[in-house]
């Protein structure tokens, strides 16, 4: 059963980027079940399971990020949770990585995460009360095991995720005074459109599973469980942390 969302006046509001992807759709459905009003933000602006509002979002455009937050606040009057889930990948080693591909992945994954955090900051900070409840909003960034350990052939993706992990730490320090908690979730391989090309490759998967001590891939719901906990009142003293949902990969 889903853990209850934080309690304030009215339902808490979550904005999820990359909402129509494999992980994003599960995140939206899970947060809706937990009692959030969910805003699905995606390049297409398409509906997502459980979402009650949709916005079109291009993370490469700072004004689009700010507009997504404005649309959320206009619709619901508040923002309590930002989940930075959207991202892209480009497989390949550095000797064959074109500069323009590097730039695109960095701009979407890292810069896009920062743009959304900056856009959401005023609304998340506005949720802080001056009475007994001194909490503000929360941010959960989607990182990756590739940001914790080096994985050959996933160079640029892993580096952007490592940067997101460090960004999470710095934002947690800088925004603690506003009551905003910032954390990250770092899963190993998850079934999604982004991983469809390798999930059907027996040789790749045999080698990949050999690196995961628990011997299996991560289900999207397991990622959602971690995100929901980091957003909940039960993690009220947790900030600047990255939860590895990776079957033990990062302890090796």
Q: Residues with catalytic annotation?
A: 157
Model pLDDT, residue 202: 85
How far is the C-alpha of 80 from the C-alpha of 12, rounded, in Å?
Answer: 6
Supply the Cα-derived Rg of the chain in whole angstroms: 17
pLDDT at 108 (0 to 100): 97
Residue 236: what pLDDT?
Answer: 96
Which pLDDT belongs to residue 152? 87
**What domains can you pick out in the chain, each with its CATH number?**
13-190+219-244 (3.40.50.720)
For residues 195 and 199, give the distance between their C-alpha atoms in angstroms, rounded to a whole number.
6
What beta strand segments (E) does the chain contain? 13-17, 37-42, 53-56, 81-84, 138-142, 181-187, 242-245
pLDDT means per 10 residues, the chain with 252 residues, are 53 97 95 98 94 97 98 97 95 89 96 98 80 70 96 90 98 97 95 80 88 94 98 97 96 80
- Please tell me whether the overall predicted TM-score, pTM, comes out greater than 0.75 for this model: yes
pLDDT confidence of residue 129: 52
Environment class of 201 (CB within 10 Å of its CB; exposed 0-12, middle 13-18, buried 19+):
exposed
């Amino acid at each position: 059963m889903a853990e209850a969302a934080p309690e304030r006046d009215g339902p808490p509001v979550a904005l999820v980027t990359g909402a129509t992807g494999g992980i994003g759709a599960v995140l939206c459905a899970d947060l809706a079940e937990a009692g959030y009003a969910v805003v699905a933000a995606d390049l297409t602006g398409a509906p997502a399971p459980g979402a009650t509002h949709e916005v079109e979002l291009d993370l490469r455009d700072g004004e689009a990020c700010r507009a997504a937050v404005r649309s959320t606040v206009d619709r619901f009057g508040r923002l309590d949770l930002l989940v930075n889930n959207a991202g892209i990948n480009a497989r390949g080693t550095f000797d064959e990585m074109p500069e323009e591909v590097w730039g695109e992945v960095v701009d979407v994954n890292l810069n896009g995460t920062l743009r959304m955090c900056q856009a959401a900051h005023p609304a998340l900070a506005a949720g802080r009360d001056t009475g007994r409840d001194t909490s503000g909003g929360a941010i959960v960034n989607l990182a990756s095991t590739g940001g914790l350990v080096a994985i050959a052939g996933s160079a640029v993706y892993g580096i952007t995720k490592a940067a997101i992990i460090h960004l999470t730490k710095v934002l947690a320090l800088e925004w603690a005074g506003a009551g905003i908690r910032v954390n990250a979730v770092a899963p190993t391989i998850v079934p999604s459109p982004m991983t469809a090309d390798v999930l059907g490759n027996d040789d790749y998967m045999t080698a990949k599973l050999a690196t995961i001590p628990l011997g299996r891939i991560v289900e999207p719901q397991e990622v959602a469980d971690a995100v929901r906990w980091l957003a909940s009142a039960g993690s009220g003293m947790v900030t600047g942390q990255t939860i590895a949902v990776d079957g033990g990969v990062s302890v090796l």
